[in-house]
Amino acid sequence: MTSRLLSTIILTIVMLFLIGPFLIIVAASLSAGDTLAFPPQGLSFKWVLKVFEIESFRASFVMSMMLAILGTLAALVIGIPVSYALARYKVPFGETVRTIVSAPIIVPGIIVGLALLRYLVIPLGFNIGLALFMAHTALVLPYAVRVVSASMVNLRSDIEEAAVLLGCSRLGAFLRVVLPSIRGGILAAFILGFVTSFNQVPVSLFLSGPGVRTLPIDMLAYLETTYDPSVAALSALLAFMSIGIVFLAERFLGFSRYV
């Protein structure tokens, strides 16, 4: 009995520590006062509404959305073939290839962003939008390869061999047999890549130019100058968005099987 009580106490404290700050953000964003405070000074939606009126947040939200969607799609477009090759073919230097495409996960993002800016973007005169797109694609690539590879392993190769024997071309077999069978894994990789890219800060730190910024970087910059609850409101909204996406993915896809 005492151990049950002890267990409840421990779990309550730890969960408060883990979840509490998020609840406080939500409460603070509903404050009617002008400064960030908990408990909130009265209730209102004015800060939640103000988020939508701040021009730079709107622009950087669109930027982050586009990066997350296009970067993840690009990572899948190059990541699915390489995962397929590594699973089905004897790729020359296969292990090296696997290491190269999964390396961006090991190197801290801030270094990736800095190196990309200094040795590729500036010398070749790329614009920042393109640089961000390349950085986010590189960042998501390891996740795409890992999740897609995992679902490829469970796929029996004799089914596509049968398709080829029955007259289907190799490409046709890939498009009609392999792709449909791993679509759950691809969707899971997309969601994981999207959330990772959207929340990513360090890789984009050095990659910002006039009017071109990702949303988290914009929030960090706003924090330095202003101390009102709008960032809290935005944080809460984004958190609900991420939780919603992952919840739906889990519900309809069994997301956790893939990740």
What part of residues 4-23 is at the interface with other proteins (CB under 8 A)?
7, 10-11, 14-15, 17-19, 21-22
Per-residue interface string for the shown chain with other proteins, residues 23-62, x marking contact by CB under 8 A: -xx--x------xxxxx-----------------------
User: What gap in Å lies between CA 50 and CA 112, rounded to an integer?
Assistant: 34
By CB under 8 A, residue 219 contacts other proteins:
yes
What part of residues 133-152 is at the interface with other proteins (CB under 8 A)?
134-135, 137-138, 141, 145
What part of residues 169-198 is at the interface with other proteins (CB under 8 A)?
170, 195, 198
Which residues are 43's β-sheet partners?
31
Neighbours of 140 (CB within 10 A): 29
Q: Can you tell me which of 54, 184, 202, 228 binds other proteins, judged by CB under 8 A?
A: 202
CB–CB of 137/99 below 8 Å? Answer: no
By CB under 8 A, residue 108 contacts other proteins:
yes
Closest Cα partner for 33 from 213, 194, 229?
Answer: 229
CB–CB of 106/167 below 8 Å? Answer: no
CB–CB of 108/219 below 8 Å? Answer: no
By CB under 8 A, residue 232 contacts other proteins:
yes
Q: Can you tell me which of 48, 114, 155, 253 binds other proteins, judged by CB under 8 A?
A: 114
Query: Which residue number, 11 or 165, has a Cβ lying nearer to other proteins?
Result: 11
User: What gap in Å lies between CA 123 and CA 236, rounded to an integer?
Assistant: 39
Total interface residues for other proteins by CB under 8 A: 77
By CB under 8 A, residue 104 contacts other proteins:
yes
End-to-end CA distance of the chain: 37
